[in-house]
Structure 1
């Protein structure tokens, strides 16, 4: 079934399983599935939310079970499932952790691939890319799926999504620490994303999708080069181009949706869904051409947008955009502006259309900084294992209570 712009939504959230006492990675999603169903399965239909395995055996994905029309109460549905999962995991002395990366994980020693259904695909990825690195095994994200009905709607939505991708890490960065060290990147997950598939650069491109605005052009300029590049590695034609496309937003013509993939997972569903609602309202303004025309929005080359993305991956909300033309297309008259101020400006324009709970959550993020900023403030330059565990235990509690983290 096809839907029109912003008629329905799909949200995907990825969480890691850890030992409840030590905080260490537990590659045991298969055990969780058995606890829930009594048998080894890769997917669980749990009403409004579906549970699924991922490439790494310690990561579980929770997602809307089909398109949903209502974002306002969705965090409560996710939270209900998180509580159920944690109740099951308690039997095995495990618990879910949020954020986009585990600060203590050693991928060389702790990475374990999912070895059950769909394992042939994961095994092939592992042979091509060696998935033991942080960029494959230690990443959790939120994906937002937005529908389009036809090429005309795809054109508008793709133009709008491309424009805001570069500044999204300023809202969502939550991965500042790897190997017990400050990585120097507020969004280390996205920094790894830039080079994660460098053996086959056609898969990721410049992360910002190319200027393609029809299904036909997308096939020629994005899918065909991917299929050609992967062919020598995939002799049995196991892989499919919709999944191979690893840009920061991908077109899913198999379900008429664009999937936004540059967002780090937050500390609780309330934060994730609030960010989703905020993004949706900003995209509506762009699609409606309130402050800039579709022609202007389509005119942006991926290289120019990538330059902005690089700075926000590093500095998140602390980055500065020195590009008057970019600010103007967002409806802001200034020669330069910190990204935190850009989002504050956009929030002032669209917040009246958001639920009060989501307004408050975004207000906290804009006031106190991205989750990465708040995590680093709580760490206070003490990267001992004990102190890191103290902070991430606090984040564990935020997940269980569905409350935002305040350092």
Structure 2
């Protein structure tokens, strides 16, 4: 099984104010306002909001370490070119951004954004202030697709718990660990089937999934939104990309470093090798667990996460085991959101915490280790 990842980082000034300059960065590198460019070992790409830039490995890989190498070389090249002009920051949301101050990409694909805006109003945090870690896993045939889809679906609450990293909105702690998902799962509430409350329904066959997508497309067509009738319109926590022959896990907050991102990729894959997992599969139960994860991070699911970690360790390759201690640290000591919230609650200035997060990204170091 090959694996790929996608990473979204906010672009900031020295005080961590978001800078709407993704277009200027891409133009400075290649000479024009391209939406995606090859940048050595990675692809650099725009996002909807100009305050975020996406970084994707040049190619999927079998070994996690190979992905990490591509990404760290890409980041190193970025820092060599731009030095201290920009401070990149992970995390699931920008912690001080206000959506009315965030401009939308305006160089191409405007027809898609205008349609989304007409249907859902994109001037909200769930559109303009989200940063996700996406994990893409290949499948070989229909039976493997169905198995992987259902297994990942059942893992989503636990993955949300350990990757939550967005406890701050517009400069204030909210009491929730994953505010990105709180906003994201409502950003298309006018057509709730698109997001499925993050947890999609179990499927028995590929046809089940295709019927769900066709029902979404029918609704979009009825609203004169045919342009959105593509597989990527699906916004559930795991989606099928037939065009890439992979499953995309979309429910995860971006972390503070590439190293930590890789750790969660290394956690998912061995769990997919287990013949059985002691996890819930019912829709209502999974939605309840996801809510617990969004609100409390790891604190409400420690016993289950410890059991899951032991299974992952037993089924992991040597390559994957090299990253798993980071996951264990998050299970035992709290996800990034819990730790950020704890520091701020104890009086640490937000800018100091963000400086530590930025250093972790620049040095490719897991926070707390």
Matched, 1:49 2:42: yes
Q: TM-score, normalised by structure 2?
A: 0.93
Matched, 1:371 2:352: no
Could you tell me how far apart the structure 1 residues matched to 2:281 and 2:104 are?
39
Aligned-residue offset at 1:405? 1.4
Q: TM-score, normalised by structure 1?
A: 0.85
| Superposition pairs of residues 321-360 of structure 1, within 5 angstroms | 338-350=303-315, 353-355=318-320, 357-360=322-325
What do the CA deviations read for 1:202-234 (whole angstroms, capped 9, x no partner)? 2112321112232222111x1111112212433
Residue 95 of structure 2 is matched in structure 1 by: 103
CA contact (8 A) 2:10 2:88 kept: yes
Could you tell me how far apart the structure 2 residues matched to 1:69 and 1:404 are?
22
Residue 308 of structure 1 is matched in structure 2 by: 289
Matched, 1:13 2:7: yes
Could you tell me how far apart the structure 1 residues matched to 2:8 and 2:342 are?
24
1:210 to 1:290, Cα distance in 2 relative to 1, 3 A: closer
Which residue of 136, 139, 152 maps to 2:130?
139
Residue 406 of structure 1 is matched in structure 2 by: 368
CA contact (8 A) 2:270 2:313 kept: no
Could you tell me how far apart the structure 2 residues matched to 1:343 and 1:375 are?
24
Matched, 1:318 2:299: yes
What do the CA deviations read for 1:78-110 (whole angstroms, capped 9, x no partner)? 12212222333347x3221111111111112x2
| Superposition pairs of residues 61-72 of structure 1, within 5 angstroms | 61-72=54-65
| Superposition pairs of residues 238-317 of structure 1, within 5 angstroms | 238-285=227-274, 289-290=275-276, 300-317=281-298
Residue 117 of structure 1 is matched in structure 2 by: 108
What do the CA deviations read for 1:40-60 (whole angstroms, capped 9, x no partner)? 211111243211111111111
Residue 195 of structure 1 is matched in structure 2 by: 186
Could you tell me how far apart the structure 2 residues matched to 1:89 and 1:119 are?
28
Moved more, 171-180 or 78-87: 78-87
Could you tell me how far apart the structure 2 residues matched to 1:38 and 1:367 are?
47
1:174 to 1:291, Cα distance in 2 relative to 1, 3 A: closer
Which structure 1 segments of 5+ residues have no match? 1-5, 321-336
Aligned-residue offset at 1:342? 3.7
Could you tell me how far apart the structure 2 residues matched to 1:74 and 1:33 are?
22
CA contact (8 A) 1:317 1:339 kept: no
CA contact (8 A) 2:60 2:67 kept: no
SS at match of 1:254: coil
Number of residues of Structure 1 aligned to a counterpart in Structure 2: 369
SS at match of 2:114: helix
Aligned-residue offset at 1:247? 0.6
SS at match of 2:197: coil
CA contact (8 A) 2:176 2:295 kept: yes
Residue 324 of structure 1 is matched in structure 2 by: none
Residue 23 of structure 1 is matched in structure 2 by: 16
CA contact (8 A) 1:343 1:366 kept: no
Which residue of 198, 201, 205 maps to 2:196?
205
Aligned-residue offset at 1:353? 4.2
Aligned-residue offset at 1:290? 4.6
Could you tell me how far apart the structure 2 residues matched to 1:311 and 1:107 are?
27
Matched, 1:94 2:86: yes
Aligned-residue offset at 1:15? 0.6
Aligned-residue offset at 1:136? 1.0
CA contact (8 A) 2:126 2:185 kept: no
SS at match of 1:318: coil
CA contact (8 A) 2:273 2:315 kept: no
Could you tell me how far apart the structure 1 residues matched to 2:245 and 2:323 are?
27
